[in-house]
Amino acid sequence: MTSYQITLFTHVAAGSIALVTFWLAAFLRKGSPRHRRVGQIYMAAMLFVLGSGIPLAWFNAQRGNLIGALFLYYLVLLTGTGVRNGWQAVRLKRDRRGYFDATYWVLIGALSAAGVAIIAVGTQVGAPLLQIFGGVGLFASTGAVMAWYRSPNNPTWWLREHYTAIIGNGIATHIAFFGIGLRNALPFVDPQTQMMMAWLTPLAGGLVATVYLNRKYGRRPASRAWAPHTPVPASVIRAGTVPAG
């Protein structure tokens, strides 16, 4: 096998593991030991996806596909920011300043600049897909600044940062899955339409999921939003040591 084939195999294998563990973690009780273990596997798989994505972009550049290489580098930055934020939000949920550190702002600044560059390239070559995903980077950067601004008054800031980052990474893994699968499942559909479906369907699904979770968790205290409710024994309530309800 060539170095390209090995890298591509690693990328696909890690992406497949990430896709499976994404849904496993989604259906497991949030905050449970199993959820955390599966989440750790997911994060490890995403690191392999990122690590193999960089040389794949380089291979594209060597073959003359400079726009494709630029876009892949951009996706690595976008996804890498999500991996970092998704992990750090849980690890530093009691250290807001530690989460919003210099690395956070460097990544957000780079993502914003890269988003503008991708929009410019998409406009120059007439590629709406590049324009849309360049806009995603700008939207994510703006959202990151707003998250920092609102975090002092939002007890669930870390939870929101966690699930929005994971949803963003989930969008990336589903795009890769649909990009390969639709070519085989829908060979009669125009390739350009297939590509738009593969990229925009996960994006739309991710936006819907984010809106749903924002409404579900809102601004409730983080402990209640994440941990399961532990009922208070009736005997304790009758004794008057805690208020009922």
DSSP state of 115: H
Greatest CA separation for the chain: 76
Ordered per-residue pLDDT tens for the chain, 245 residues: 899 899 989 998 999 999 999 999 989 998 899 999 999 999 999 999 999 999 999 999 999 999 989 999 999 999 999 999 999 999 999 999 999 999 999 999 999 999 999 999 999 999 888 898 899 899 999 999 999 999 999 899 999 999 999 998 888 888 877 766 555 556 666 777 777 777 788 888 888 988 888 888 765 554 454 544 444 454 444 444 444 44
* Cα torsion 26, 28, 34, 36: sign: positive
3-state secondary structure of 29: coil
Please, are residues 73 and 54 in contact by the beta-carbon 8 Å criterion? yes
pTM of the entire predicted model: 0.80
